[in-house]
Amino acid sequence: MSRRKIKEWGGSSLAELQARWERESIFLYGSIDSTNEAARELAAEGAPGGTIVLCREQTAGRGRAGHAWHSPKDSGLYLSLILRPTDLSHPPLVSLLAGLGIVERLEMDFPGLAPGLKWPNDLVAAGLKLGGILAEATWVESRPEHLVIGVGVNVRPLDSSAPGEIVGRATAMQSVLGESVRLREVADAVIAGLESRLARIPPALDADLLSRVDRYDWLRDRRARLTLPGQDEGLAGACVGIAPDGALLFRPDRGALRRVTDGVVDPWA
């Protein structure tokens, strides 16, 4: 689709954002289909690692498993970052580490938000969904050619255009904090958080990273319903932590502890 570039985003010009984030490769759009789609195309054309794609509105924003991401104009942060890792031995850790970096910086920059991580790729605040992460890698044989990390964060309160399925399950930064929040300051935190944790992607979480993830693990010791791929009926049980490889540890009400690498966990069911 045709994508119209803009010269200003979040109250700052392109030149101001380039200076703010210390990079030339920043692309700003008005209304586009998806920042991840734009970033993937730019990466395929040779855009360098560290390239940032931002837009005011997404018409086909995507979340995990092809779910749509509600992206109304100027209401949230819709950002994608291109990385070019030389090694990506354990892709499932990417979303988890991206989320860790983001919540660490959001907590630092926005006192009172108290953000958490909901496995495998959601951000939460005040017990509700605040944002999501979508990591997409492109490979050449066994080597990662590029990695695109898409992040959506609800900044301004949800309005009547929000789909019914997210009403009562989602929130926004301004709703939690009770004050105005600037989009570019949220972008500051997200970019710094992503680059702090994804500069090197380890093959497994070491003791320090496990401890940090555990601190923000919103599902820890929480009852939920787990639905595995290809199954219609979920399992009731409790989430008991995250394994070093990024798997969710889930204890069903009946049966042995499970390591979950793919599935939907619904604590609101």
Fold designation for 223-266: SH3 type barrels. (2.30.30)
Q: Please determine whether the domains at 8-216 and 223-266 fall in the same fold group of CATH.
A: no
Q: What is the pLDDT of residue 94?
A: 96
Q: What is the pLDDT of residue 70?
A: 75
Is it true that the peptide bond before 120 is cis, omega within 30 degrees of 0?
A: yes
Predicted confidence band at 67 (pLDDT cuts at 50, 70, 90)?
A: low
C-alpha–C-alpha distance, residues 14 and 28, integer Å: 8
The H-or-E segment that residue 118 falls in is strand 116-118
C-alpha–C-alpha distance, residues 241 and 249, integer Å: 5
50 has a pLDDT exceeding 60: yes
Q: Per-residue pLDDT tens for 196-208?
A: 999 999 999 999 9
Q: What is the pLDDT of residue 158?
A: 81
Mean pLDDT of the chain: 92
- Each domain of the chain, given as residue ranges in start order, spans 8-216, 223-266
First to last CA, the chain: 38
> pTM here?
0.94
Average pLDDT of the segment spanning 85-95: 88
CATH of domain 8-216: 3.30.930.10
Q: Are 123 and 102 in contact (CB under 8 A)?
A: yes
Q: Per-residue pLDDT tens for 205-254?
A: 999 999 999 999 999 999 999 999 988 889 999 999 999 999 999 999 98
Q: What is the pLDDT of residue 1?
A: 55
Average pLDDT of the segment spanning 189-193: 98
46 has a pLDDT exceeding 80: yes
C-alpha–C-alpha distance, residues 210 and 226, integer Å: 22
**Exposed, middle or buried, 259 (CB in 10 Å: 0-12/13-18/19+)?**
exposed
